[in-house]
Structure 1
Amino acid sequence: QVELADLADRQIGQLSGGQRKRAFVARAIAQQASILLLDEPFAGVDVRTEATITRLLHELADSGAAVLISTHDLHGLPELCDEAVLIQRRILMHGTPAEVLRPEHLALAFGADPLSGQTRGLGEASA
């Protein structure tokens, strides 16, 4: 499931960052975890590993697990999650990714729209 069978005899410290992340997801699957909290699960992984982790997270969510992800990588969120929470010292916005990932909301959190790279003042209207 996690494409690590050929590395089963290695110690966790001998695995690459992406392999370790897949191993942690595998452990959650084996333990039938009902809640999975991941911090930056796609940081430092290649495209193939990101696709594998995404598939596994969808499978966990489809089986009834609550999957919570903390990330600064906003590009894949609309396809990855059902709900999003935008936090900057406090909850700024909660809703669907389409509702939360609007430029004006991102500007409140980041001072710019990280998806487009545009910087604008907080009082300016979005384009």
Structure 2
Amino acid sequence: MVTEAQKRANAAYRKKSVKQLTMRFYPSDEDEAMYAWLKSQENTTEYLKALVRADMESRREEEGYLLIITAIDDEREEIIKETAFSAKAEARAAYEAFDLDFFDPEHPMMWHAKTLVRGTELLEFEEQ
């Protein structure tokens, strides 16, 4: 049996450490078909993670390093920008040069995180 203290500790851990992503499916044939396909999977989370893992691995083989910038717009939705690099030095320089405190008036949003990966290997990560 789980105590109230354990429940509070679990909730605090999830709030601090667990990340969540929401997907929206609109009333269109394509979206409804994708939604039905996802719901038919035994474990949706693992299915999606496997797809992302495979995509990351194929990009690593094709392009080398990937710089991922995550931002939050006015509607509090995540937007991801990706830039591929073939050289490690180039990728690291771009990672270091990107300032999460930078404000771009053309894209009024809060930068959330920057990540540098090679395939499924996390090389660098910084969160705002």
TM-score, normalising length from structure 2?
0.27
Hey, which of these two has a bigger chunk of strand by percent?
2
TM-score, normalising length from structure 1?
0.28
More RCO (CA 8 Å, sep 6+): 2
Kindly name which structure, 1 or 2, has the bigger radius of gyration based on alpha carbons.
Answer: 2
